[in-house]
């Protein structure tokens, strides 16, 4: 697995991390890898394999796509707003990539209690799961969560980031895929509000963007 790839959360393997206490909530620009497949009549189907589709760099998402290549498949890499839950023993990355306003349906008022420093990470994570604290039904296929080997200052969301997606195309067997780029549009107000809520319930200076 790549260093910048989120790993699927395991209650067995990540027991210590899930039991550790929340230290910080940060907001990011992460990358989702989608595998597309040409179906009957030239239509297209898409699938992604849970948290294996979440990366902290576009380069690693594209590198992972090379290993997943098969006949009739092509790939999309999306840059999306995301958050990380940081604890002493590691971090977990979360994305809501189907929504144009990522985490816009999450109930930040009710969720404030789970954003307090010292809350067991398992409890905070549960608040973001599909049956967690959402004001209305959320698309379960939109939510991706995974453990992160590292989260650095370089990963933090910048002011007015460029949202981009890339679609792969084949140069033929034995050659790396090419990528066409297009612009996307995402609203970051919800992820920024989650950061504000974290700062507010913990008595921190309000900044909005992680710093």
The mean per-residue pLDDT over the stretch 171-178 comes to 89
Tell me how far CA of residue 83 lies from CA of 98, 148, 167, in angstroms: 15, 11, 24
Which run of H or of E encompasses 74?
strand 73-87
Could you give the CA distance from residue 208 to residue 146 in angstroms, rounded to a whole number? 23
Range of lowest pLDDT (52-61, 131-140, 149-158, 197-206) = 149-158
Could you give the CA distance from residue 150 to residue 71 in angstroms, rounded to a whole number? 34
Domain limits for position 111: 15-201
Residue 21 burial class via C-beta count within 10 angstroms: exposed 0-12, middle 13-18, buried 19 and up: middle
Residue 147 within a domain: yes
Task: Read off the pTM.
Answer: 0.84
Question: Residues of the chain with pLDDT > 90: what percent?
Answer: 55
Could you give the CA distance from residue 53 to residue 7 in angstroms, rounded to a whole number? 9
Tell me how far CA of residue 81 lies from CA of 18, 129, 202, in angstroms: 23, 17, 23
Token code pair at residue 77: 């890499």
Residue 9 within a domain: no
Residue 207 within a domain: no
Q: What is the pLDDT of residue 113?
A: 96
The mean per-residue pLDDT over the stretch 154-165 comes to 79
pLDDT in tens, 88-140: 888 999 999 999 999 999 999 999 999 999 999 999 999 999 999 999 999 88
pLDDT in tens, 28-55: 999 999 888 776 655 666 665 443 588 8
Structurally, how many domains does the chain consist of? 1
Residue 6 within a domain: no
Residue 194 within a domain: yes
Is residue 8's pLDDT more than 80? Answer: no
Residue 109 within a domain: yes
Residue 211 within a domain: no
Closest among 154, 163, 141, 177 to 62, alpha carbons compared? 177
Is residue 153's pLDDT more than 60? Answer: no
- Contact of 161 with 192, CB cutoff 8 Å: no
Q: What is the pLDDT of residue 46?
A: 62
Residue 100 within a domain: yes
Q: What is the pLDDT of residue 157?
A: 78
Q: What is the pLDDT of residue 71?
A: 83
pLDDT in tens, 60-80: 899 999 998 888 888 999 999
Mean pLDDT of the chain: 85
Closest among 165, 162, 143, 175 to 75, alpha carbons compared? 165
């Amino acid at each position: 697995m790549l260093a910048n790839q989120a790993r699927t959360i395991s209650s067995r393997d990540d027991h210590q991390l899930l039991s550790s206490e929340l230290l910080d909530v940060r907001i990011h620009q992460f990358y989702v890898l989608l595998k597309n497949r040409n179906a009957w009549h030239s239509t297209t189907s898409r699938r992604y394999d849970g948290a294996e589709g979440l990366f902290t760099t576009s380069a690693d998402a594209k590198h992972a796509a090379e290993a997943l290549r098969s006949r009739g498949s092509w790939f999309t890499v999306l840059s999306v707003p995301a958050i990380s839950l940081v604890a002493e023993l590691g971090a977990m990355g979360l994305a809501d990539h189907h929504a144009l306003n990522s985490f816009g349906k999450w109930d930040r008022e009710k969720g404030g209690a789970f954003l307090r420093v010292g809350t067991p990470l398992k409890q905070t994570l549960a608040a973001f799961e599909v049956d967690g604290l959402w004001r209305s039904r959320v698309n379960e296929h939109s939510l991706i969560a995974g453990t992160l080997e590292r989260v650095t200052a370089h990963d933090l969301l910048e002011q007015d980031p460029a949202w981009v997606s890339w679609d792969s195309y084949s140069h033929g067997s034995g050659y790396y895929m090419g990528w066409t780029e297009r612009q996307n549009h995402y609203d970051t107000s919800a992820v920024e509000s989650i950061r504000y809520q974290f700062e507010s319930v913990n008595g921190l200076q309000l900044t909005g963007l992680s710093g």
